Amino acid sequence: MQIKGVLIEDTFAEAFPMWVSRLVITADTPRLALQAAEAAAGLAFSIIGCACESGLEGALPPDQTPDGRPGQAVLLFSHSPEKLEEHLFLRIGQAILPSATSACFNGLQVEKFVKVGGRLRYFGDGFQASKKFGDQRYWRIPVADGEFVVEESFGLGLGVGGGNLIIIGRERSVLLGAAESAVQAVRSVPGAIAPFPGGICRSPSKPGSQYKNVRASTNEVYCPTLRSRVATQLSPDALAVYEVVIDGLSEEVVKKAMRAALLTACQPGVIRITAGNYGGKWGPFHLYLHKILEET
């Protein structure tokens, strides 16, 4: 299959289930809400080393937030509910609470909930107060610019992580532009994120290594500088490779985001688009590129 002269390989991205939570962060201005959201999503690029993958789902207008202020939606993914709860407590407490004028609310209505604000309330040192609306309790923690409002409990659901596209091109700067466009397409899909810095990964990895204590290592078949030393997956004119990793609230969300990214990435200078998989043994979700383009 070719789109605008770009070869779309007949292969699949191998994805896997992950626990997910959605934060709604608000502040007095869009800039302050974005600042708090970016802090909360920091250093959460790869489940391999960070134990959490996170990213900004998108801006929320005041009529879509609980307190009627500008907001941002942030998605956090992890491999277990216990680890995700740990990151919620850490990131809300250490990144969002100290951010000017911020508040934080649960954005995912699911069956499983964990107490986060209910633990953070102790930062109020006895001066905290609570208010219950319906089935949910909110904590008001005094801070130096007013109060930090946080919901007592946050939802933990099952999402999908590891959707991916590997984009191969002739020139790094041109390929980077195509990859950046693909990331913007991912971010246009509600419920999807591209967790790596700027949404782009320059180091597609493989499980394991020749060093026994290393969980993952560089995928040498996609490294242009190693073309003459390994069984490369690169043609002679391929000089750069970027990967776009996609996590989402469901398999359908990830498929939709992959399709949007695929179509957007087909630009002059891109030679081929493929996907990373490990023979179907890594995860139960096999997202075939051709089927995604045909079905959705």
Count of the separate structural domains present in the chain: 2
Q: Same domain, yes or no, for 264 and 135?
A: no
The owner of tokens 């909930």 is 113
Q: Same domain, yes or no, for 24 and 138?
A: yes
Cβ distance 60 to 70 under 8 Å? Answer: yes
Which of 122, 139, 157 is the endpoint of a domain?
157
Q: Same domain, yes or no, for 183 and 260?
A: yes
Which of 157, 191, 225 is the endpoint of a domain?
157
Cβ distance 97 to 146 under 8 Å? Answer: no
- The model scores a pTM over 0.85: yes
Q: What's the Cα-to-Cα distance from 84 to each of 79, 92, 143, rounded to whole Å?
A: 7, 12, 26
Q: Same domain, yes or no, for 64 and 137?
A: yes
Q: Same domain, yes or no, for 6 and 28?
A: no
Contacts of 198 (CB under 8 A, 6+ apart): 180, 183
Residue 42: pLDDT band with limits 50, 70, 90: very high
Chain mean pLDDT for the chain: 95
Q: Residue range 31-55: average pLDDT?
A: 94
Q: Same domain, yes or no, for 135 and 188?
A: no
Which of 117, 132, 157 is the endpoint of a domain?
157
Which CATH number is 239's domain given? 3.30.70.520
Radius of gyration for the alpha carbons in the chain, expressed in angstroms and rounded: 21
Q: Same domain, yes or no, for 63 and 143?
A: yes
pLDDT at 64 > cutoff 70: yes
Q: Quick one: pLDDT at residue 177?
A: 97
Cβ distance 165 to 182 under 8 Å? Answer: yes
Contacts of 81 (CB under 8 A, 6+ apart): 19, 112, 114, 156
Q: Same domain, yes or no, for 129 and 75?
A: yes
Please name the residue ranges forming H helices in 141-197: 172-187
Q: Same domain, yes or no, for 44 and 68?
A: yes
Q: Quick one: pLDDT at residue 278?
A: 83
Q: Residue range 245-269: average pLDDT?
A: 98
Cβ distance 179 to 200 under 8 Å? Answer: yes
Q: Residue range 57-71: average pLDDT?
A: 97
Q: Same domain, yes or no, for 142 and 248?
A: no
Q: Distance between CA 174 and CA 274 in Å, rounded? A: 18
pLDDT in tens, 190-216: 999 999 999 999 988 888 899 989 988
pLDDT at 296 > cutoff 80: no
The residue range of the domain holding 31 is 18-157
For residue 257, give the H/E element and its range: helix 251-265
Q: Distance between CA 165 and CA 119 in Å, rounded? A: 39
- Lowest-confidence segment of 63-67, 149-153, 201-205, 288-292 by average pLDDT: 201-205
Q: Same domain, yes or no, for 49 and 148?
A: yes
Q: Same domain, yes or no, for 36 and 95?
A: yes
